[in-house]
């Protein structure tokens, strides 16, 4: 599998995307401290190859992230490569069901995947997400609504939630930004 990596700018800092010709494998803010380990793992999975470059998946990712920050795109339609246990993948699916501008607690996340006592495991799966923004782990808070843990930094989590509350409040009313493929 040939993976390529490219960086691009967002209003909250640089991001790196890693993809093959079919799927997005990683999308992270470049300052994330776990990024080197994530890249090494992908390097092993790819059999030693991640090269600098672009492809249609990276271009599509950059375009959809730009739409998200512009407030014109409320969801993502990207082919994803998910590396995780079945439980982690259940958590990531549940995260994708949280609408922009909304948050849930880690205990609610655990309940939504049918494991209400597995709050710590759900939090761990949330933190293992390698597709920032696309799988919106930033929409999970502590039980009291306080912001807790985010690999991109708590300031960035607050900024993402503030952006969504401003840009996507109309989503809840049904007259907001479109999802990929929806007619305007």
In this prediction, residue 120 carries a pLDDT of 94
The pLDDT score that the predictor gives to residue 27 is 97
Give the residue extent of every domain in the chain. 3-70, 86-173
pLDDT in tens, 64-110: 999 999 998 888 999 999 989 999 999 999 999 999 889 999 999 99
pLDDT on residue 52: 93
Which one of 3.40.50.300, 1.10.10.10, 3.40.50.720, 1.10.3720.10 gives the CATH number of domain 86-173? 1.10.10.10
HEC profile of 95-146 = HCCCCCCCCEEHHHHHHHCCCCCCHHHHHHHHHCCCECCCCCHHHEECCCCC
Low-confidence residues in the chain, pLDDT < 70: 1, 48, 170-184
Mean pLDDT score across all residues of the chain:
88
User: Which listed residue (137, 140, 161, 167) is catalytic?
Assistant: 137
Six-digit token pair at 47?
């059999």
Q: Is 183 a catalytic residue?
A: no
């Amino acid at each position: 599998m040939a993976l390529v990596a490219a960086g691009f700018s967002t209003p909250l800092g640089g991001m790196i995307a890693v993809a093959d010709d079919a799927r997005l494998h990683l999308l992270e803010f470049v300052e994330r401290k776990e990024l080197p380990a994530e890249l090494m793992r992908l390097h092993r999975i790819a059999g030693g190859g991640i090269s600098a470059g672009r492809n249609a998946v990276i271009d599509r990712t950059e375009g959809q992230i730009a739409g998200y920050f512009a407030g014109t795109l409320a969801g993502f339609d990207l082919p994803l490569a998910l590396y995780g246990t079945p439980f982690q993948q259940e958590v990531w699916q549940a995260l994708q069901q949280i609408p922009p501008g909304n948050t849930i607690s880690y205990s609610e996340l655990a309940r939504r995947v049918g494991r209400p006592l597995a709050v710590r495991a759900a939090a761990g799966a949330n933190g293992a997400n390698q597709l920032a923004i696309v799988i919106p782990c930033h929409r999970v808070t502590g039980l009291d609504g306080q912001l807790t843990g985010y690999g991109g930094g708590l300031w960035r989590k607050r900024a993402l939630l503030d952006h969504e509350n401003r840009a996507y409040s109309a989503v809840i009313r049904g007259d907001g930004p479109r999802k990929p493929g929806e007619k305007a």
